[in-house]
Amino acid sequence: MAENTNDQNTPTAPDAGAANGQQAANPGPAFALQRIYMKDASFESPRSPVVFQNQWTPKVSFNLGTKSARIAEGVFEVVLTVTVEAKVDDAAAFLAEVHQAGVFSCVGMNDADLEHVLASVCPNILFPYAREAVDSLIIKGSFPPINLAPVNFDALYLQTKQRQAAEAAAKAGQPAAN
């Protein structure tokens, strides 16, 4: 029969780190997903049921937007907005919009890393949920599914940073307004 023994000489996890010269107070950067939720969703089909009588040859537009807000120390809400609009003969067939949100813990990051995580990593996590929600709204509106392609949020973030740098350089080259 096995016996439970409590060896008093075995150090606990915090003591083991301290014995190795590590500081328990500063574990380094940490990132964690706390919650994913749908903040808002809307679907409009202003020309129903007439739109179903025409040939379905839509012009589809797709827009993305993100915003983030600090809700507590080291805790941020990131909202990814996905908007899909379909037009037939220059008239709106449907408009679907989803605000997919998440709460993320971001601790011990410098400002540049935090900005990258909030603008790229978090939207990458949220996008599959938003894509599914948009598709579900469109199908429930009795329209054919719209398969949204994956989005490279890292590339979008890099483009935004490059555009901001170019705008700042252009402003620096202009004479100051008096």
CB 138 within 8 A of CB 146: yes
Q: Where are the alpha helices (DSSP H) in 8-110?
A: 13-19
Place of tokens 């003969």: 89
At 74 the pLDDT is 96
In sequence order, which residues have a C-beta less than 8 Å from that of residue 84 and are 6 or more positions away?
60, 61, 62, 94, 95, 96, 97, 134, 138, 146, 148
Residue 16 Cα distances to 24, 26, 50, 78, 172, angstroms? 10, 15, 71, 37, 53
For the chain, list residues with pLDDT below 50: 1-19, 178
At 26 the pLDDT is 66
Give the C-alpha separation, 23 to 85, whole Å: 53
At 172 the pLDDT is 84
Give the C-alpha separation, 175 to 172, whole Å: 8
Fold of the domain spanning 26-148? Bacterial Protein-export protein SecB (3.10.420)
Residue 171 Cα distances to 111, 151, 157, 167, angstroms? 24, 31, 21, 6
Q: Taking the C-alpha atoms of 8, 11, 12 and 17 in order, what is their torsion angle to the nearest 10 degrees?
A: 170
CB 130 within 8 A of CB 156: no
Closest CA relative to residue 14, chosen from 27, 5, 1, 2: 27
Q: Backbone phi, then psi, for 37, in 5-degree steps?
A: -155, 160
Annotated domain spans of the chain: 26-148
Place of tokens 């813990």: 105
